[in-house]
Amino acid sequence: MRVIVHRVLCCAFGLALFLSQAQGQAESRAPVATYKVIARYPHSTSSYTEGFFYRDGLFYEGTGLEGRSAVMVFRPETGEPVQKLRLAAQYFGEGIVDWGPNLYQWTWQSHLCFIYDRFTLRPVGQFRYSGEGWGMTRTDKEIITSDGTATLRFRNPANFKEIRHIVVKDGSQPVFQLNELEFVKGEIYANVWHSDRIARISPLNGRVLGWIDLSGLLPEEQKIDAESVPNGIAYDAQRDRLFVTGKQWPYIFEIKVVRRPPMTILPVTR
């Protein structure tokens, strides 16, 4: 009898420990929100989007692929560039960011960040750096960059040198392949390459505060190939508008983030 009771107690303790661990893991994972489409704007399907932001009524976009990389400025209503500068054929363009009167565009594996006059796109300088270039955004004091890992680096805009970095985690799990970035209401929004999700990240410690699930935003039949993934986030702070697009997508979508209702656990009945 004592053996039976001992086994029952062990099983009960084990079950309680399992449930406690499962609950802790569930609580540590960030909540997932969905979206509502507010408006749709034209976007060129030749644009392999790597960098994207909104400023003063215009979209700014940096595109990739050797021989096709460029930086351009266009009006949302038409999608037609009002300014465009092509990179030399050997460069694969990546993220872009505005800083004062300038615009920065860095490259994937060439270790060069080009500086342009934002109003004319005239080249005015460049920085060198180590590692790969992926996404780029900024706060009022720093430039934030991704390199395809789970690490985001904060850089000095004056010389592009790293000041500090954070490792992005959802609970205890690192989030890899962070790509295009945008700074929204004190949070870093990041596309995750080959994923339909945007991570909302604390700039203080890298904790994922939540996810935005973009599943179904662009129908599969409208995607050119497997690389036509979401990769472009822009925010209009003045009118509180969030825009998203993807590589060679035909549209830019203005969306509203919608919280999913909490899961309801129904009582067990006999």
* pLDDT, the chain, mean: 89
Which secondary structure element, helix H or strand E, spans residue 243, and what is its range?
strand 241-246
pLDDT at position 29, please? 85
pLDDT at position 72, please? 97
Beta-carbon neighbour count of residue 115 at 10 Å? 18
Is pLDDT above 90 for 91? yes
Is pLDDT above 50 for 20? no
pLDDT at position 268, please? 55
CA-to-CA distance for 134 and 96, rounded, in angstroms?
9
> Does residue 151 contact residue 168 with C-beta atoms inside 8 Å?
yes
pLDDT at position 18, please? 41
Is pLDDT above 90 for 24? no
> For residue 61, what are the β-bridge partners?
52, 72
CA-to-CA distance for 234 and 244, rounded, in angstroms?
6
Residue 22: pLDDT band (50, 70, 90) is very low
CA torsion angle for 220, 226, 227, 231 (degrees, to 10)?
40
How would DSSP label each residue in 118-142? TTT--EEEEEE-SS----EEE-SS-
Taking the domains of the chain in order of start, what are their residue ranges? 41-259
Which fold, 41-259?
Methylamine Dehydrogenase; Chain H (2.130.10)
> Does residue 178 contact residue 148 with C-beta atoms inside 8 Å?
yes
Report the pLDDT averaged over residues 61-69. Answer: 96
Top pLDDT among 226 and 8 is at 226
Strand ranges for 92-238 from DSSP E:
93-99, 102-107, 112-117, 123-128, 136-138, 143-146, 151-155, 162-167, 169-170, 173-174, 178-184, 187-192, 197-201, 208-213, 230-236
Residue 161: pLDDT band (50, 70, 90) is very high
Report the pLDDT averaged over residues 96-114. Answer: 97
